[in-house]
Amino acid sequence: MHTEDIEVNDDGPRTTTAGVALPLTDPRARRAALTGGKAASLAEAAGAGLPVLPGFVVLPPGTSHRGQDLRDAWRKLSANGSTPLIVRSSSAAEDTEDSSMAGQFTSVLDVRGWDAFRDALRTVRASSAEPMAVLVQPMVRSRVGGVLFGADPVAGRTDRLLVSVVPGGPDTLVSGERPGTEFLLTRHGRLLRTEPGDPADRLLHTAELHRLTTPARRTRHVFGRPQDMEFGFDEETGRLWLFQSRPIPAMAPRPARRARLLGPGPVAETLPGLLRPLEEDLWVVPMAHGLATALDLGGTAARHTLRTTPVVTAVAGHAVADLALLGMVPPRHRWLALLDPLPAARRLGAAWRVGRLRSSLPHLATALLADVDRQLSEAPPPSALSPAGLTAALRWSRGALVALHAQEALAGALLTDDRPGSTAAAAALAALHHGRAEGLTDAQTVAARPEVLALIPPSLTEPPRLPARGVAGTGPGTGTPTPREALRMRIRWVQEFQVALVREVAAHSVDVSLIALLRWPELVTVAEGGPLPADLAQRRAPQEGTPLPDAFRLADDGTVVARRAPGRADGRGGQGVSGGRAEGGAWDGTGQPPRDAVLVVRNLDPALAPLLPLLTGLIAQTGSPLSHLAVLARELGLPVVTGTTGAVDRYPPGTRLLLDGATGEIGVREHAGQGASS
């Protein structure tokens, strides 16, 4: 039945409905639409035998449901006013899977007496513009209280528990009034970490931490997912009580256990920028097929893995590599690798092929280079090609890139040639110097000296923009390129040939910026005279966002989850790729470099090549000892360290650095005359 209160105001007396009391033990109390999220969750938990205080829910005014008389319910729960109560909101919008609405409504603590209870009820209801249920329970004095997460929401790990506690009840913690002490536990209660403070001074003892694992496990079972719970240990009895249970509203994404470790790695040296869909299909896909072929021939990875797992792919418009397939990640279980006969058998089978390859690869490279040069030199201008000719040229270019990437990777792994003056980057620098000296524009320099293309990545939409600086054509760059460097140069020439072909397709159909949003099968259709996709005008080019981490895995929804990049275990540097030691000031590549500049960058972009003669050293977060810049740096005698985790953030401009290009060690010079420290 309803009870009625008489309120008096300036307009005279009026009657209001106080509401119906529904005990938490009533099955109807578990209906969130009726009693609100907070009360419904506690009623569900109580029904499952979890340590929930007794109580009742005051239904919103005007509710037609029958229940207990409100005053009778209050009298029974408070022992006729001798036991203090807590009166809390229980809105239907609270404690849902999508929103906790924590702290949005009022709670009144330590409520004593009928009149105080009615005032508290009005106060809580007044905190919401909509009719709202109100939860009433006994007030417990807690020795310590806090919040228990049935998972680690920061790391996205469901095999961890995160506890934050304060002296007294949890209200001062959840309101932000005071910070808590955090405990990270395994799901079995073993303490992994305490922050802040000395574990000896912690508020919860080992046995109490173990006791928290039971409600964490049981609420997950009851509600089907990890819960965010408020709790307290009774000051008098030491009993554990749950005050609230709600779904964790925001769990950090977590990839599957066997998700691939990806990163820009060495592919950022070839394709450092943001790629459009057609650029991915033209340049990333052939690179992936070529590297897979090289890894298969070298016996580095199982063939079925290479069939199903792309070595290189695109994430958020950026080319990234499978770091494990490229051998940049140590095996998780070295002893298991020793016991497994298949890798050894695979290597044994590959050894015969590798032995033959080592002797025949220079001849194969020479034949491939000759074929590519012949095709490029004999190809008519794209404007003179028929639709069938355009399609044939595009198909040939993709196949040529696969072969070039495969042989370039094999040449880097199997052939050694330390002759000076043999890099594509060095030849490009010399060509750039001569082009600048002759007063040529960028387009004229590219046409007259295509070697300069090694300094810039390909682009369908942007015209070639060469670096401002060039170096004299003496020293590095004057020798005959090694087979690997010659293959690299042809890769870049074929890519530029593709750019010209795609621009010709665009000239007969639509702007090249829209053509770049096609996929490869769509391009072939358009090149053959077919229609453009109906939704092309609605497609949008990828936008540059937060830079990808040096190493990451993808969650099921495609979210990037950063992981520590492979590198030195002590965190004091990376991989040395060019011998020598140097000391200088960190520089980010903008403005004028300091006199002894140590360039600190995220990736080894080919466009950095003109800067190398100006540097004392080079540090990169990602990269390969076989990269263009690493090879050129060795020729220039410049110390280089790659694979340095977080280098851009750790070494801001002006930091005095000591680096060893042989060992990969990096130190920070704190003050002149003092030693280095990591």
Total tally of structural domains belonging to the chain: 5
Q: Is residue 391 part of a domain?
A: no
Tell me the average pLDDT across 44-56: 94
pLDDT in tens, 606-664: 778 888 888 999 999 887 666 767 777 877 888 899 888 889 988 999 999 999 888 88
CATH of the domain at 605: 3.50.30.10
Of the candidates 220, 221, 226, the residue with the CA atom closest to the CA atom of residue 249: 226
Structure token digits, residue 220: 């997950």
Q: Is residue 448 part of a domain?
A: yes
What is the reported pLDDT for 551? 87
What is the reported pLDDT for 14? 34
Tell me the average pLDDT across 46-52: 94
- Together in a domain, 19 and 87: yes
- Together in a domain, 484 and 594: no
What is the reported pLDDT for 7? 38
Q: Is residue 598 part of a domain?
A: yes
The dihedrals phi and psi of 162, each to the nearest 5 degrees, come to -120, 125
How many angstroms from the chain centroid is the CA of residue 637?
A: 35
Of the candidates 45, 158, 171, the residue with the CA atom closest to the CA atom of residue 102: 171
What is the reported pLDDT for 321? 94
Boundary residue ending a domain (138, 169, 199): 138
Range of the domain at 85: 3-138
Tell me the average pLDDT across 557-570: 72
In the chain, the percentage of residues whose pLDDT exceeds 70 is: 83
Structure token digits, residue 229: 């719970």
**H-type alpha helices, 532-575:** none
CATH of the domain at 113: 3.30.1490.20
DSSP class of residue 215 equals: H
pTM for the whole structure: 0.68
pLDDT in tens, 437-454: 888 998 999 999 999 998
More confident call, 294 vs 423: 294
What is the reported pLDDT for 558? 82
- Report how far residue 657's alpha carbon sits from residue 604's, in angstroms, rounded to the nearest whole number: 19
More confident call, 460 vs 175: 460
pLDDT in tens, 321-367: 999 888 877 665 554 444 444 454 455 555 556 667 777 888 889 99
Q: What is the dihedral of CA 344, 346, 348, 351, to 10 degrees?
A: -130
| Cα-only R_g, the chain | 34
Q: Is the pLDDT of residue 197 over 60?
A: no
Tell me the average pLDDT across 75-96: 85
Q: Is residue 545 part of a domain?
A: no
- Report how far residue 581's alpha carbon sits from residue 598's, in angstroms, rounded to the nearest whole number: 11
- Together in a domain, 134 and 227: no
DSSP 473-486: SSSTT-SPPPHHHH
What is the reported pLDDT for 353? 61
Beta bridge partners of 580: none
**Who's near 40: CB < 8 A, 6+ residues apart?**
29, 30, 31, 32, 34, 90
Q: Is residue 551 part of a domain?
A: no
Q: Is residue 182 part of a domain?
A: yes
Tell me the average pLDDT across 308-319: 93
- Together in a domain, 95 and 190: no
The pLDDT mean for the chain works out to 83
Of the candidates 400, 394, 451, the residue with the CA atom closest to the CA atom of residue 426: 451
pLDDT in tens, 582-610: 899 999 988 888 889 999 998 887 778 88
Q: How confident is the model at residue 68 (pLDDT cuts 50, 70, 90)?
A: confident
Beta bridge partners of 5: 16
- Together in a domain, 345 and 433: no
- Together in a domain, 49 and 133: yes
- Together in a domain, 72 and 159: no
- Together in a domain, 8 and 118: yes
- Together in a domain, 281 and 405: yes
Residue type, 605: D
Tell me the average pLDDT across 280-289: 97
Instruction: Report the range out of 118-127, 391-400, 442-451 with the highest average pLDDT.
Output: 391-400
- Together in a domain, 530 and 474: yes
Q: Is the pLDDT of residue 40 over 90?
A: yes
Structure token digits, residue 632: 């050129």
What is the reported pLDDT for 94? 62
- Together in a domain, 455 and 404: no
Q: Is residue 252 part of a domain?
A: no
More confident call, 255 vs 350: 255
Boundary residue ending a domain (215, 247, 279): 247
What is the reported pLDDT for 369? 95
Sheet holding 107-111, edge to edge: 21-23, 56-58, 133-138, 85-90, 107-111
Helix (H) or strand (E) holding 607: none
Tell me the average pLDDT across 405-428: 75
